Structure 1
Amino acid sequence: MSGRRVVVTAGATGLGRAMARAFRDRGDRVAICDLDAAAVAAFAEACPEALAHVADVRDEAQMGAFLGAVEAAWGGADVVCANAGTGGPAGRIETLEYGAWQDCVAVNLHGAFLTCRWAARVMRGQGSGLILLTSSTAGLFGYPLRAPYAGSKWAIVGLAKTLAMELGPDGVRVNALCPGAVEGARMQRVLAMEARASGLSEEELRARYARGVSLRSWVTEEDVVGTALWLASPAAARISGQVIAIDGNTETLVP
Structure 2
Amino acid sequence: MSKRVLITAGASGIGRAMAEKFAADGDQVWVVDVDEAALQACPENWQKACLDVTDEDAVSALFAGIEAAWGGLDTLCANAGIAGPTAKVENIALDDWRRCLSVNLDGPFLFAKYAAQLMKAAGSGAIIVTSSTAGIFGYPNRAPYAAAKWGVIGFMKTLAMELGPFGIRANAICPGGVEGPRMEGVMMREAAEKGTTRDAIYEGYTSGVSMKSFVWPEDIAEMAAFLASDGARLVSGQVIAVDGHTENPDPKVP
- TM-score (structure 1 length as normaliser): 0.96
Residue aligning to 1:5:
4
Matched to 1:4, the amino acid is: K
Q: C-alpha distance in 2, partners of 1:199/1:66?
A: 44
SS of equivalent residue, structure 1 residue 57:
coil
State whether residues 51 and 70 of structure 1, in contact with CA within 8 Å, keep that contact through their aligned partners in structure 2: no
Q: C-alpha offsets along residues 32-55 of structure 1, whole Å, 9 cap, x if unaligned?
A: 110001001111xxx222210101
2:13 paired residue number? 14
Q: Are residue 161 (structure 1) and residue 160 (structure 2) matched?
A: no
Distance 1:68 1:147 in 2: 36
**Partner in structure 1 of residue 74 of structure 2:** 78
SS at 1:142 equivalent: coil
2:25 counterpart residue number = 26
CA offsets, 1:12-61, max 9 Å, x none?
01100110111011100100110001001111xxx222210101111112
Q: Which runs of 4+ in 1 moved over 4 A?
A: none
* Aligned amino acid, residue 2 of structure 2: G
Q: Structure 1: 5+ residue runs without aligned partners?
A: none
Q: 5+ unaligned residues in a row in structure 2: which ranges?
A: none
Q: Which residue in 2 is equivalent to 1:189?
A: 185
Q: Which residue of 2 aligns with 1:247?
A: 243
Q: % of aligned pairs identical?
A: 49
- Find the residue that maps to 2:11 and give its secondary structure: coil
- Residue 34 of structure 2 is aligned to residue 38 of structure 1: no
Distance apart, 1:66 and its partner CA: 2.0
Pick aligned residue for 2:140 from 135, 138, 144: 144
Q: Distance in 1 between matches of 2:21 and 2:150?
A: 27
- Correspondent of 1:69 among 52, 65, 68: 65
Residue matched to 2:198: 202
- For residue 145 of structure 1, give the secondary structure of its aligned residue in structure 2: coil
Q: Tell me, in whole angstroms, the C-alpha distance in 1 between the residues paired with 2:11 and 2:220.
A: 16
Give the TM-score taking structure 2 as reference length: 0.96
Q: Distance in 2 between matches of 1:69 and 1:20?
A: 19
RMSD between aligned residues: 1.0
Alpha-carbon distance in structure 2 between the residues aligned to 1:143 and 1:200: 18
Equivalent position amino acid for 2:59 in 1: M
- Taking the aligned partners of 2:156 and 2:25, their CA distance within structure 1 comes to 25
